């Protein structure tokens, strides 16, 4: 499938948000997906995943998660220095700023003439951001891939109230974990699932992939699992389409 790929600047109160929009060429009106990156921002690895998702019939918008500071316009390397800079970017961003940027990107996608409904996904910190995006009543379905920090409120420069607000989620929710993820070990997964059920979200779709490590869907490095990646993306597409 031929795709079109554009870089746009989404306006927000704090300044423009650099966003890459990928969609099938000439396909008409399609569901729109906000895809949140991991801490490394708009890397080619994440964009390859976005292209795969777009080729299944979605308009995919991939915003920078640190668009207003020194990391604006920067795709970080998958090394210790890149990790440190990405974590620093998270630590210098408040939950309120993440939320404000989310509203701006959803507003932009909703106003596009080629978008029929709003969906959200994300990876790692982006999985946590996707979870918070699900608080928006406009979001029909959300897929969180190995979201980090939900169990502790760890997101940015303060403590996020994400799990305590789980009851605000009105759309459908799917959460994917890897069984060998040290950032979301079994006790953390149990806490997250318990909080979701306690909030009344007893129809959440949950997957724990055996052997999956943290970032098993990032197609760079030894943790990448191509088989689990294909399975997870297929499940996400099916979920977004309402089964």
Integer angstrom CA distances of residue 115 from 72, 80, 106, 119, 239: 26, 38, 11, 10, 18
* Token code pair at residue 131: 């979870």
CA 33, CA 109: separation in Å to the nearest integer?
Answer: 8
State how far the alpha carbon of 149 is from the alpha carbons of 43, 185, 189, in Å: 22, 11, 11
**SS3 state of residue 35:** strand
Q: How far apart are CA 125 and CA 138, in angstroms?
A: 21
Q: Are 99 and 162 contacting, i.e. CB atoms less than 8 angstroms apart?
A: no
Report the C-alpha gap between 111 and 88 in whole angstroms.
33
Q: Is 144 a catalytic residue?
A: no
User: Bridge-partner residues for 120, per DSSP?
Assistant: 34, 142
Whether 124 is a known active-site residue: answer yes
Active-site residue (options: 56, 124, 136, 225): 124
To the query of whether residue 214 is one of the catalytic residues in this protein, the response is yes
The residues facing 145 across adjacent strands are 123, 176
Which one from 128, 183, 207, 214 is the annotated catalytic residue? Answer: 214
SS3 content of the chain, % helix, strand, coil (to 5): 35, 25, 40
Q: DSSP string of 174-218? A: EEEEEEE-TTS-HHHHHHHHHHHHHTT-TT-EEEEEEEEETTTT-
Instruction: Check 181, 183, 207, 225 and give the catalytic one.
Output: 181
Instruction: Please give the positions annotated as active site.
Output: 124, 181, 214
């Amino acid at each position: 499938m031929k795709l079109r790929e554009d870089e746009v600047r989404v306006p927000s109160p704090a300044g423009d948000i650099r966003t890459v929009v990928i969609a099938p060429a000439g396909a008409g009106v399609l569901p729109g997906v906000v895809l949140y990156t991991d801490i490394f921002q708009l890397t080619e690895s994440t964009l390859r995943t976005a292209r795969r998702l777009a080729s299944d019939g979605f308009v995919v918008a991939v915003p920078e998660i640190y668009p207003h500071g020194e990391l604006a316009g920067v795709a970080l390397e998958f090394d210790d220095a890149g990790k440190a800079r990405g974590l620093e970017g998270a630590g210098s961003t408040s939950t309120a700023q993440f939320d404000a940027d989310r509203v701006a990107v959803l507003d932009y996608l909703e106003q596009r003439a080629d978008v029929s409904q709003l969906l959200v996904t994300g990876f790692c910190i982006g999985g946590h951001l996707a979870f918070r995006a699900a608080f928006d009543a406009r979001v029909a379905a959300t897929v969180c891939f190995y979201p980090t920090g939900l169990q502790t409120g760890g997101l940015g420069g303060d403590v996020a109230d994400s799990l305590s607000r789980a009851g605000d989620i009105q759309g459908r929710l799917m959460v994917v974990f890897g069984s060998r993820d040290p950032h979301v070990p079994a006790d953390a997964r149990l806490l997250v699932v318990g909080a979701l059920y306690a909030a009344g979200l007893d129809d959440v779709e949950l997957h724990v992939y055996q052997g999956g490590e943290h970032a098993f869907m990032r197609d760079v490095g030894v943790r990448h699992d191509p088989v689990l990646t294909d399975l997870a993306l297929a499940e996400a597409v099916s979920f977004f389409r309402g089964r």
